[in-house]
Amino acid sequence: MLEEDRCKKCGAKLVHGQCFNCKDLKVIEKGYIMVIDKDDQRIYNKRFEVMYNNKDFIWSFVLGLMYASFSGHIIIGVCGALIDVLLVWLFSIIMKADIFITIVFAGCFLIFRIICGLVLNVVCIQVDQTRINKIKVKYRKGYKRVLKNHNPDGKIYLVSTLILFVFLLCGLFWFELS
| SS3 labels along 58-83 | HHHHHHHHHHHHHCCCHHHHHHHHHH
Question: Which tens digits make up the pLDDT trace of 68-125?
Answer: 888 778 888 888 888 888 887 887 777 777 777 778 888 888 888 888 888 888 888 8
Strands 14-15 and 18-19: antiparallel
DSSP-derived secondary structure for 134-160: HHHHHSSSSHHHHHHTT---HHHHHHH
Q: Is 17 helix (H, G, I), strand (E, B) or coil?
A: coil
Kind and range of the H or E element at 90?
Answer: helix 74-95
Where do the domains of the chain lie?
1-35, 37-177
Question: Which tens digits make up the pLDDT trace of 22-61?
Answer: 766 554 444 445 556 678 888 888 888 888 888 888 888 8
